[in-house]
Chain A
């Protein structure tokens, strides 16, 4: 049996998530009370009836906070509990705490509130007009766009809309807290950012960080939704535990989770693209209106990544990209796989698609002509190296000749009236590193016990992406021992401090290098002990292989476990700690130039779809991909990341639709109304090829980060469907509005034919 430790627990139902932890005696349960208006003042708030309810231990609100009522991670603009002003529907006001969840819920219904409504804004463009911006506009520039227009044969302008996306991690947000003997708090939190939870709880409780211990065993999915937004629930449960001197568990019910938490940012964007006669893109100008919601959360960093990826896989010599982070009366939007990149890439792909129609070319011709080459400069000043944009595109074309696909599609469409096929190519280029440079650090703490078993602590949080398995594999490769000797510990702020969030696809890279460094230290110490056994001064004569000690190229009788025992008796430390920080990266946010990314991930996909032009429904027939994994050292995990990312991307472009009413109330707040891809939504054919001969000096064991980039292949589905729509009605104006739900398709196909 393969040694897939977490997977085995999962299939046996033995993995513990927060809600599965054994409940301590006296545990109380929380339920969140929140605003039902999008903007307004609290005139009166009365808990007296609620406090009389059966089993209620307390109603916790802003006035119970001993420290600062502040949870803003990047910009300090967000309260844990509303004070005077309500900024969105589902803005938390209080936490009812009772001896059972049902009693806490019953208490919520007895809370009395009087509010005064204020005008609210839901549209980011309206927010921009009213100057409701989170930060001043951000601008990335390359070349001289204003000069370049006159050289363009074609200039095309347009507007693009992309919708938000609910994370729908299967495990809802939650935390379980209790007081410790030091007067501090221990929190089991389902967070991607244990240190953010620790820091924020400390600030809320007015305690030093060393009194707050945050422990994370695993998450039932994160996707960015638990990077910044797991913090509030941890703070609430910690605050309640602190005030009430009882353990407090807070697990959001699904509907509350969907209502209370932010999503992928919806974007509304304008662009102008200029091309020469052949289709070479000479100039590109774009403005992004990001719907940030009511406070900053991670919106500013997300907006930056939109700007970083505004040209996707293409070299464009003259670019001006402007981003506005617009404050609206919605829950603060947050990180979601791709982190703003997909939104930017959808705009440039829309621009190319629309331009292709004007140039009477296939979009793929323009895509191919403009792909990045070695040494090309991005709008932020970094130049490509080991660029595999063209190589992956060419490999895709070789494996799945794109001309044949187009021809077969045309033939099918000529034979069919009401059913049409469409195809599209989607190249991707995604920069790896936190664009906030200081976050690119991690540390690892490795213990070897006297029986030769190994325990590894890092800052990485396991959320299904397989980081634990990867850490284990890295350690086993460095120490040359069996993976079964190694255990990956929970992520714990008392064991590994000052952790960066597990995010930005960087978990394996950052923590993997730290594990390599820590294990290398231990290996050197053990080599030295072994060398002493052979009275050898030259350490290079000693190496470990398959649990055995080799001396001068020959296996000896000594095993890894023997050397560990000897090391202990010789009083050699069997613990090592290492800190890793990504080399060579820098970024000057004043001029928006630098070398922010350690490297880029490239790839290309071809997506094919079949559209029922009578009903507006469709199926994704195939997604075929050549993806740059670097040198994958765990292909099962890497493949799974690509497959899962692609289906999420398809969901974002097709069925996943967030709808709010005019009052700012989310209408799609349950799984019955917010639909994510099910097993039937899988493309009939999903083929993923690992780009050959890829190398990466900046990833552990020469691998590449894999979490986010494949998501963006899903964007190809939009254009495959758009092409099928155009096959039905050649003069059709595509609205470049995602998601392309069956409603969006049908109303576009039969625009103005019905009243």
Chain B
């Protein structure tokens, strides 16, 4: 095979690798079938178990930042210029402290999920200098273990943190990890190695399907995508930065959910959203899923769209050199149908900088709190003056064919006083705007009840002193 066809070049564990596989083919299949490295397991192929977790390291300002991802949802194209870390490359003569403690503390039973846990835990140690048990446990939210009940895993995390903290002083974090045997010493040379790599050689064939993070596309149609050449969106195609521009916050369509969480701009203007977005997927999903992807996916139950609707987001859609702007509230037309024209891309998402007396709340209820799709979600954004609502936006997911902005309810709330009666009335109007169906995530009856409760919850959270919870709930019983 001629070398010019080998357009994807990356560091596979400790060795350079060039390959001519289809750029849209799946990383997990490459690792297992092409490279015959079987430590990375296939558990579900939908990013819901973490058995296929790997680390992808990317050079950013001289340092390599490692992200844990589900290799079942990563197209090969996204490996170019990166460092891929599978469990095998962590293996040294002795066990790493993570491997040792997982083995000794009962953190592994059948062993099928274990390499994924080892990878996720190693990712946490690579990315955090200040170690915290709770944060470390949260970083394992994308890994499912059916055997241990996680108690042994928690003991292992705890002990690993102790081992790290008790290991000697080193000049930097990575050296300390290498000295303590958390990662092999070749990690030291990775930044230099990655610095020398060029952009992809071959021209990409443009198809009608665009792949952003792929976290839903590869769940829905991995078989179809595996064999095809698709244009794949990444940071180089569309912006992924998040910045302030005048009185608007601009979010690049390629920004990931995790970038949103980590963004200083978002932190400043929407401090609560950081926490709310912890309910979005899991860390490996948030590391890949893009903001634009969540919007064009048009899932009626998307979490981010639900929030963006009430924040009155605008979209800049790009086609070639032309672009146009549209309000997100007008973007969703019908089930999985949007105003996006063929080959248009979401380049930017614009959010107005919030004014004074701005209130925001997000509620999401699912069978399992984390890494689950909501039965119903709802966001509210209010601007008040004294005790009066002067601007209102409220949304509801999972209760209609589209991510729903509750127009009538929002209009009703405008100019109302914040009072128990207002809340009760708003909930009634909201229920007149929705058309939920019964499915795996709940009966229509439940979804209606739940939306009412979430609207109550918005106000009880935001205005605890103005709303009488007892009266509100007593009223609810008599409905």
Q: Which residue of B98, B153, B439 contacts A667 across the interface (Cβ within 8 Å)?
A: B439
Q: Considering the complex, which residues of chain A in the window 614-664 have a beta carbon less than 8 Å from any beta carbon of chain B? A: 614-617, 636-637, 639-640, 643-648, 655, 657, 659
Report how many residues on chain A are interfacial, defined by Cβ distance under 8 Å. 83
Determine if B371 is an interface residue (Cβ-Cβ < 8 Å).
yes
Which chain A residue lies CB-closest to B442? A743
A171 to B219, CA, bound (A): 18
CB of B368 within 8 A of CB of A675, answer yes
Determine if A219 is an interface residue (Cβ-Cβ < 8 Å).
yes
Interface 9-mer from B1-9, B102-110, B238-246: B102-110
In the bound complex, residues from chain B placing their C-beta under 8 Å from that of A741 are 367
Which chain A residue lies CB-closest to B451? A754
Q: Which residue of A11, A463, A657 contacts B99 across the interface (Cβ within 8 Å)?
A: A11
Contact A11 to B108, CB < 8 A, known contacts A614-B453, A655-B367, A679-B137: yes
CB of B141 within 8 A of CB of A746, answer no
Q: Which residue of A2, A170, A218, A646 contacts B146 across the interface (Cβ within 8 Å)?
A: A170
Report how many residues on chain B are interfacial, defined by Cβ distance under 8 Å. 93
Q: Which residue of B46, B98, B112, B370 contacts A171 across the interface (Cβ within 8 Å)?
A: B112
CB of A648 within 8 A of CB of B149, answer yes
In the bound complex, residues from chain A placing their C-beta under 8 Å from that of B448 are 754-755
In the bound complex, residues from chain B placing their C-beta under 8 Å from that of A746 are 446, 449-450, 453
A10 to B473, CA, bound (A): 51
Q: Considering the complex, which residues of chain B in the window 109-146 have a beta carbon less than 8 Å from any beta carbon of chain A? A: 109-115, 118, 137-138, 140-141, 143-146
Q: Which residue of A220, A417, A681, A750 contacts B469 across the interface (Cβ within 8 Å)?
A: A417
A657 to B440, CA, bound (A): 9
A218 to B366, CA, bound (A): 35
CB of A673 within 8 A of CB of B440, answer yes
| Minimum CB–CB distance for B5 against chain A, Å | 21
In the bound complex, residues from chain A placing their C-beta under 8 Å from that of B449 are 746-747, 750, 753-754
A183 to B419, CA, bound (A): 82
Contact A747 to B48, CB < 8 A, known contacts A19-B38, A464-B110, A678-B368: no
| Minimum CB–CB distance for B443 against chain A, Å | 7
CB of B375 within 8 A of CB of A743, answer yes
Contact A6 to B445, CB < 8 A, known contacts A254-B43, A636-B106, A680-B370: no
In the bound complex, residues from chain B placing their C-beta under 8 Å from that of A681 are 368-369
A676 to B105, CA, bound (A): 22
| Minimum CB–CB distance for A459 against chain B, Å | 19
Determine if A671 is an interface residue (Cβ-Cβ < 8 Å).
yes
CB of B371 within 8 A of CB of A4, answer no
Q: Which residue of B40, B95, B446, B456 contacts A747 across the interface (Cβ within 8 Å)?
A: B446
Q: Which residue of A218, A614, A648 contacts B460 across the interface (Cβ within 8 Å)?
A: A614
In the bound complex, residues from chain B placing their C-beta under 8 Å from that of A9 are 111
| Minimum CB–CB distance for A439 against chain B, Å | 23
In the bound complex, residues from chain A placing their C-beta under 8 Å from that of B109 are 221, 464-466, 640, 644
| Minimum CB–CB distance for A618 against chain B, Å | 10
In the bound complex, residues from chain B placing their C-beta under 8 Å from that of A750 are 449, 453, 476-477
Determine if B418 is an interface residue (Cβ-Cβ < 8 Å).
no
In the bound complex, residues from chain A placing their C-beta under 8 Å from that of B105 are 636
Contact A7 to B111, CB < 8 A, known contacts A168-B146, A643-B148, A678-B370: yes
| Minimum CB–CB distance for B429 against chain A, Å | 14
* Chain A 593-633 per-residue mask, 1 if CB under 8 angstroms from chain B, else 0: 00000000000000000000111110000000000000000
A647 to B146, CA, bound (A): 9
Determine if A670 is an interface residue (Cβ-Cβ < 8 Å).
yes
Determine if B147 is an interface residue (Cβ-Cβ < 8 Å).
yes
| Minimum CB–CB distance for B16 against chain A, Å | 22
CB of A10 within 8 A of CB of B114, answer yes
In the bound complex, residues from chain B placing their C-beta under 8 Å from that of A640 are 106, 109, 147-149, 151-152
Q: Which residue of B42, B46, B365, B453 contacts A672 across the interface (Cβ within 8 Å)?
A: B46
CB of B111 within 8 A of CB of A220, answer yes
A17 to B32, CA, bound (A): 13
CB of B144 within 8 A of CB of A170, answer yes
Determine if A15 is an interface residue (Cβ-Cβ < 8 Å).
yes
Determine if B87 is an interface residue (Cβ-Cβ < 8 Å).
yes
CB of B443 within 8 A of CB of A682, answer no
Determine if B88 is an interface residue (Cβ-Cβ < 8 Å).
yes
Determine if B441 is an interface residue (Cβ-Cβ < 8 Å).
yes
A755 to B449, CA, bound (A): 8
In the bound complex, residues from chain A placing their C-beta under 8 Å from that of B91 are 12-14
CB of A670 within 8 A of CB of B48, answer yes
A668 to B479, CA, bound (A): 32
A672 to B366, CA, bound (A): 11
| Minimum CB–CB distance for B423 against chain A, Å | 12
CB of B48 within 8 A of CB of A12, answer no
Q: Which residue of A6, A254, A615, A682 contacts B150 across the interface (Cβ within 8 Å)?
A: A682
CB of B112 within 8 A of CB of A221, answer yes
A615 to B370, CA, bound (A): 15
CB of A671 within 8 A of CB of B41, answer no
Q: Which residue of B41, B137, B452 contacts A754 across the interface (Cβ within 8 Å)?
A: B452
| Minimum CB–CB distance for A395 against chain B, Å | 20
Q: Which residue of B45, B108, B442, B450 contacts A254 across the interface (Cβ within 8 Å)?
A: B45
Determine if B478 is an interface residue (Cβ-Cβ < 8 Å).
yes
A201 to B288, CA, bound (A): 45
A655 to B371, CA, bound (A): 13
Q: Considering the complex, which residues of chain A in the window 455-473 have a beta carbon less than 8 Å from any beta carbon of chain B? A: 463-466
CB of A671 within 8 A of CB of B149, answer no
| Minimum CB–CB distance for B48 against chain A, Å | 3
Determine if B39 is an interface residue (Cβ-Cβ < 8 Å).
yes
CB of A221 within 8 A of CB of B477, answer no
Determine if B223 is an interface residue (Cβ-Cβ < 8 Å).
yes
A471 to B43, CA, bound (A): 29
- The listed residue with most A CB atoms (<10 A of its CB), out of B86, B219, B442, is B442
CB of B223 within 8 A of CB of A223, answer no
Q: Considering the complex, which residues of chain B in the window 301-334 have a beta carbon less than 8 Å from any beta carbon of chain A? A: none
CB of A742 within 8 A of CB of B365, answer yes
Q: Which residue of B118, B460, B470 contacts A11 across the interface (Cβ within 8 Å)?
A: B118
Q: Considering the complex, which residues of chain B in the window 73-98 have a beta carbon less than 8 Å from any beta carbon of chain A? A: 86-88, 90-91, 95, 98
In the bound complex, residues from chain B placing their C-beta under 8 Å from that of A219 are 110
- The listed residue with most A CB atoms (<10 A of its CB), out of B36, B88, B146, is B146
In the bound complex, residues from chain B placing their C-beta under 8 Å from that of A648 are 146, 149
A679 to B142, CA, bound (A): 9
A11 to B94, CA, bound (A): 12
Determine if A418 is an interface residue (Cβ-Cβ < 8 Å).
yes
CB of B144 within 8 A of CB of A671, answer yes
- The listed residue with most B CB atoms (<10 A of its CB), out of A11, A102, A617, A681, is A11
Q: Considering the complex, which residues of chain A in the window 79-94 have a beta carbon less than 8 Å from any beta carbon of chain B? A: none
A648 to B144, CA, bound (A): 12
Determine if B258 is an interface residue (Cβ-Cβ < 8 Å).
no
A274 to B239, CA, bound (A): 71
A8 to B441, CA, bound (A): 39
Q: Which residue of A13, A222, A463 contacts B115 across the interface (Cβ within 8 Å)?
A: A13
CB of A13 within 8 A of CB of B39, answer yes
In the bound complex, residues from chain A placing their C-beta under 8 Å from that of B44 are 254, 670-671
| Minimum CB–CB distance for B156 against chain A, Å | 9
Which chain B residue lies CB-closest to A17? B112
Determine if A1 is an interface residue (Cβ-Cβ < 8 Å).
yes
A675 to B452, CA, bound (A): 24
Chain A to chain B: the 7 pairs with minimum beta-carbon distance, closest first: A13-B39, A464-B110, A10-B111, A220-B112, A464-B109, A647-B149, A671-B48
Residues of B in contact with A (beta carbons under 8 Å apart): 32, 36-46, 48-49, 51, 86-88, 90-91, 95, 98-100, 102-106, 108-115, 118, 137-138, 140-141, 143-154, 219, 223, 226-227, 363, 365-373, 375, 431, 439-443, 445-446, 448-450, 452-454, 456-457, 460, 469-470, 473, 476-479
A–B complex contacts, Cβ < 8 Å, 16 sampled: A7-B108, A11-B103, A11-B108, A12-B88, A102-B227, A168-B146, A417-B469, A640-B109, A640-B148, A640-B149, A640-B151, A645-B149, A655-B368, A657-B367, A679-B150, A680-B137
Using A12-B39, A254-B46, A754-B479 as known contacts, list a sample of 10 further A-B pairs with CB atoms less than 8 Å apart, ordered by residue number in A.
A1-B100, A11-B103, A13-B39, A13-B118, A466-B109, A643-B150, A680-B370, A682-B150, A754-B445, A754-B449
